Structure 1
Amino acid sequence: MKTIGSTHASSQTRRRKIISAALACFAEKGVHATSMEDIRVRAGASNGSIYHHFKSKEQLAAAVLLEGLRNHQADLLAVLERQTEARPGIFALVHFHLQWVEDHPDWARFIFQMREADAAAEVEPDIRRANRKIFRQLLEWLEGHVRTGAIKRLPREMYLPLIWGPCLAYERNRLSGRPMIDSQFAGEVLAESIWASIKGEAEGGTHG
């Protein structure tokens, strides 16, 4: 006899399998050309199962977007929690981001494509909540190093564009298919540039 816990776990496993199948189909054919039947077949799910979890393709696309963002943020937080020094921490964050995109190109491309699409509207409140949480934790980490002088004191809203802006610009070009340099080398160049823009007087930077 199945327990409530085992039934829930089984349902979550099926849901994740459907999301993975949807991502694979979207990567191959694009969202508009993919049908729910394509996803059902790829997932090996019944009609009842797939529509139990997702009422429409738009709802499923939104779930894929949210799952990708949560995956990225959970991995980012794990990296951040291991960092105790400012400069190595910034380098670790930059290299993590580039490596995550390299390891999850379909998810990264989907996130870039869908973040501004109509499908995102359905989960926009969830996206905002997830973003607020990770941004708050990142800013708390940065502010700890601001207090020691390792990172320059700037308006709070400037840190994220300075850190993520160059990474996102690089990744958009990379995911568009343009020839790019080795990601490890790119990470070093980006991290050095980002660090130069935010390092504090204790690290040889200028006063903010």
Structure 2
Amino acid sequence: MSPKQHRGEVTVEQLLDATLRVYGESGEQGLTVGAVTAASGVSPGSLYHHFGSMDGLLTALLMRWLERLLVRMVTALERSDSARAGVEALVRAYFAFIRDHRDAGLLLHSSRADELGMRQAKQLRDAQEARLSPLSAWVGRHIESGELAPLSVSVLESLILGPVIGVSRRWLTLGDIDLDEAAEVLPDRIWRSVAAGPR
């Protein structure tokens, strides 16, 4: 890697890290070019050079943290020896990720992330295909083994992640839910919603 490429990568990292800090402190309304460049020490010209706009910067930040969350989820599944253990591990891993990365959790569960997801759902799924394929394959294997209900991957995904996302949003925004209690109770409840019935 040339020194110029290295400097470019360092600049990108500085901008992404600073953007998350500003977002965590001030919310989306505080995300201005001035706030991000002041927090990062990077010039506005460099911001536009690397990301094109604040929208491009925020999209890159969302993609970065979505990737990290998916890695955590896939790892939880792959370390599990049964469908039940996998579902329960995935739920707990999601909650642990949100607790460990609260600012990123706020961003991932924001209306901005929802808007991006609605507007660019196919592009987002395509960009994360390397992470989503193992999830789909895992689900397929456990449907075939008779452990998971024979439902489409998208329905199973909604049954598993819907409650987790709802609890995470509530914890992040209202703070009136005990994440430890949710991590204790929800894995079994979610498992029961996706487990295959008796044959």
Unaligned residue ranges in structure 2 (runs of 5+): none
Question: Secondary structure of 2:109's match?
Answer: helix
Counterpart Cα distance in 2 of 1:119 and 1:146:
27
Counterpart Cα distance in 1 of 2:26 and 2:193:
41
| Deviations, residues 122-153 of structure 1 (Å, cap 9, x unaligned) | x6554121354434321211221222222222
Question: Secondary structure of 1:32's match?
Answer: helix
Identity among equivalent pairs (%) = 25
Is the CA contact 2:77–2:86 (under 8 Å) kept in the aligned structure 1?
yes
User: Are 1:188 and 2:187 an aligned pair?
Assistant: no
Residue 39 (structure 1) shift? 0.7
Counterpart Cα distance in 2 of 1:186 and 1:136:
28
Q: Aligned in 2, Cα 1:13/1:83: closer, same or farther, shift over 3 Å?
A: farther
What amino acid maps onto 2:184 in structure 1?
E
Which one of 48, 52, 56 corresponds to residue 51 of structure 1?
48
The residue aligned with 2:144 is: 147
What amino acid maps onto 1:98 in structure 2?
F
Q: How many residues align?
A: 198
The residue aligned with 2:37 is: 40
Of the structure 1 ranges 90-99 and 145-154, higher mean CA displacement relative to structure 2 is found in: 145-154
The residue aligned with 2:114 is: 116
Question: Secondary structure of 2:28's match?
Answer: coil
Counterpart Cα distance in 2 of 1:79 and 1:45:
37
Which one of 8, 13, 33 corresponds to residue 11 of structure 1?
8
Q: Aligned in 2, Cα 1:136/1:150: closer, same or farther, shift over 3 Å?
A: same
TM-score where L is the length of structure 1: 0.83
Question: Secondary structure of 1:100's match?
Answer: helix
Residue 53 (structure 1) shift? 1.2
Residue 74 (structure 1) shift? 2.1
Is the CA contact 2:77–2:87 (under 8 Å) kept in the aligned structure 1?
no
Is the CA contact 1:94–1:167 (under 8 Å) kept in the aligned structure 2?
yes
Residue 47 (structure 1) shift? 3.3
Counterpart Cα distance in 2 of 1:40 and 1:32:
15
Counterpart Cα distance in 2 of 1:186 and 1:69:
22
Residue 26 (structure 1) shift? 1.8
Counterpart Cα distance in 2 of 1:104 and 1:179:
18
Unaligned residue ranges in structure 1 (runs of 5+): none
Root-mean-square deviation over aligned CA pairs: 2.3
TM-score where L is the length of structure 2: 0.87
